[in-house]
Structure 1
Amino acid sequence: MLGTDFRKGSPNWLDLGSPDTGAAAAFYGAVFGWTHQSAGPDAGGYGLLQRDGKTVAGLGQLTQEGARSAWMVYFMTPDIRATVDAVKAGGGTIRTEPEDAMAEGWLAQATDPQGAEFALWQPGKTAGFEVASAENSLLWAELHVPDPAAAFAFYGGLFGWRGEDMQTPGMTYRVLSTEEGDQKAASFGGIAPMGDGAGGESGGERPRWVPYFNVADADATEAAAVKAGGTVLMPSTDVPDVGRIAWLADPFGAVFALLKPNPQM
């Protein structure tokens, strides 16, 4: 399960790009109880979203013309330049070459061969987010693409991920684990075939990584999101052996999901 003992290829940072960071912070505060803290005067308006004083994610202003509000999942790399080279060799593209984030770490932004955007983080003073898998924090990262097998081959070339296929109604779901540690304990996300369903309406179905946040009550959290101006893409639904899931979009269209996990997950 996702934690903060970061290993190569594990999600270790998450941030949201929004056209209105104040309104976005207010929305997620209403949904998850997060508070918003500035990252400092030299951070260009970038801030931290926190749960009980611990950082869950980052929040920044969209700066590129035509950019869409979205959540970005970052994966840990001990050598960001080597991973960037592997992205290019595997058919992906680099949107932002490695840059030093004020000695907190090195970051780069990339797009996989099927169009899903992701990012890389090489830790400096900041290893990553400070809490994961706890209530109202990141629990799972899920990739939706047209060709899951090709995606697994691409990311496996970057991080050495392991996969285990699960048969679910109508599709094969691949659970992802880092290359180190017990495979079940090292699982952090999955790959699903893109198609009709969650994100297919106002969310606009397209290749993407979707963050799942652990919640105590998916229905109540869904209702809080709607009250705060969000949109329901898939209403709260029970998924056997997984838990109760909902897909939502914030007021600016950024897609995220809720999961009240099955205790056996």
Structure 2
Amino acid sequence: MADHGKFVWYELMTTDMAAAETFYKDVVGWAASDAGMAGISYTLFNVGEIPVAGLMTMPEGALEMNVPPAWLGYVGVDDVDVSAASIAAKGGKVHRAPDDIPGIGRFAVVTDPHGAVFSIFKGTGDPPPVTDPMAPGLIGWHELASGDLDTAFPFYSELFGWTKDQGMDMGEMGIYQIFAHGGAPIGGMMTKPKEVPAPYWLYYINVPAIDAAIERIKAGGGKIVLEPMEVPGGAWIVQALDPQGALFALVGPKR
């Protein structure tokens, strides 16, 4: 299936849904609508008619474990149960066993062998329309600060069929390995710096221009954690914390 190994959904789990909705609407330009799911308050972030991401309150268990608000990415798979078993067999962990979302699909929440969290998903309906991954408001890049690049890459490659694209030598930071799905680059991975406590996935939301977006982040109570930086290909990136403490990133074609 074409969606196996493709990021298909993103979700922000936060402590204040209303405040997070306002912040991202202002910063990214998303529209928001209630998903109409029974028994749970779930907001959809949309670009026009296209749903891009979900917003929900953090589950009780996560709050008790002092897990901070965070973005979670969902990778499409052909069979959630088979992939979950494969993840466990390869040294990862299944934190939420495969479960059904009525009328939507089946999912599981997992970590790779080093502890980076992600979800796997198979939808029940038609796949969403193919859109330009660099369009404003969509997620244009997926980045793993891994526990160890040399073992993380084979884990994901075997699981999702990701292939190595260009590898960039970042000096003391080591190699930044771009990876591709279906021949198209979709993200990068590197070994995390020692001072970073745990590995994590980071998602880059497309915006038209970085400097204007930074002003919106600051005005909305967010905090810049990595100042604007030009990346190969001429785009600009910035990394930030939203007011509730979730890490996110923006990418734009110009400052």
Q: TM-score, normalised by structure 2?
A: 0.90
Residues of 2 paired with 1:149 and 1:237: CA distance?
26
Identity of counterpart residues, as a percentage? 31
Residue 239 of structure 1, CA deviation:
2.2
User: For 1:151, what is the secondary structure of its paired residue?
Assistant: helix
User: For 2:5, what is the secondary structure of its paired residue?
Assistant: coil
Q: Show the counterpart of 1:254.
A: 246
* Alpha carbons 1:90, 1:157 under 8 Å: kept: no
Equivalent residue pairs, number: 247
Residues of 2 paired with 1:72 and 1:6: CA distance?
21
The 3 A distance-change label for structure 1 pair 218 and 229 is same
User: For 2:25, what is the secondary structure of its paired residue?
Assistant: helix
Q: Show the counterpart of 2:106.
A: 106
Deviations 1:18-55 (A, max 9, x none): 01111100110110111221111405001201122321
Residue 241 of structure 1, CA deviation:
2.5
Q: Show the counterpart of 1:78.
A: 78
Q: Show the counterpart of 1:29.
A: 25
Residues of 2 paired with 1:88 and 1:154: CA distance?
11
Residues of 2 paired with 1:125 and 1:44: CA distance?
21
Deviations 1:192-229 (A, max 9, x none): 22117xxx7xxx65311000011111111011111101
Aligned-residue CA RMSD (Å): 2.0
Q: Show the counterpart of 2:141.
A: 140
Q: Show the counterpart of 2:162.
A: 161
Residues of 1 paired with 2:211 and 2:2: CA distance?
31
User: For 2:99, what is the secondary structure of its paired residue?
Assistant: strand
Deviations 1:169-191 (A, max 9, x none): 3231111112xx3x2xx221110
User: For 1:121, what is the secondary structure of its paired residue?
Assistant: strand
User: For 1:103, what is the secondary structure of its paired residue?
Assistant: coil
Residue 109 of structure 1, CA deviation:
0.3
User: For 1:152, what is the secondary structure of its paired residue?
Assistant: helix
* Alpha carbons 2:166, 2:179 under 8 Å: kept: no
Q: Show the counterpart of 1:89.
A: 89
1:207 pairs, out of 195, 199, 219, with 199
Q: TM-score, normalised by structure 1?
A: 0.87
Q: Show the counterpart of 2:232.
A: 240
Q: Show the counterpart of 2:69.
A: 69
Residue 129 of structure 1, CA deviation:
8.4
Residue 261 of structure 1, CA deviation:
3.8
The 3 A distance-change label for structure 1 pair 20 and 68 is same
Structure 2: gaps (5+ residues): none
* Alpha carbons 2:209, 2:253 under 8 Å: kept: no
The 3 A distance-change label for structure 1 pair 6 and 205 is farther
Matched, 1:8 2:8: no
Residue 154 of structure 1, CA deviation:
1.0
The 3 A distance-change label for structure 1 pair 128 and 101 is farther
The 3 A distance-change label for structure 1 pair 43 and 36 is farther
Structure 1: gaps (5+ residues): none
The 3 A distance-change label for structure 1 pair 238 and 248 is same
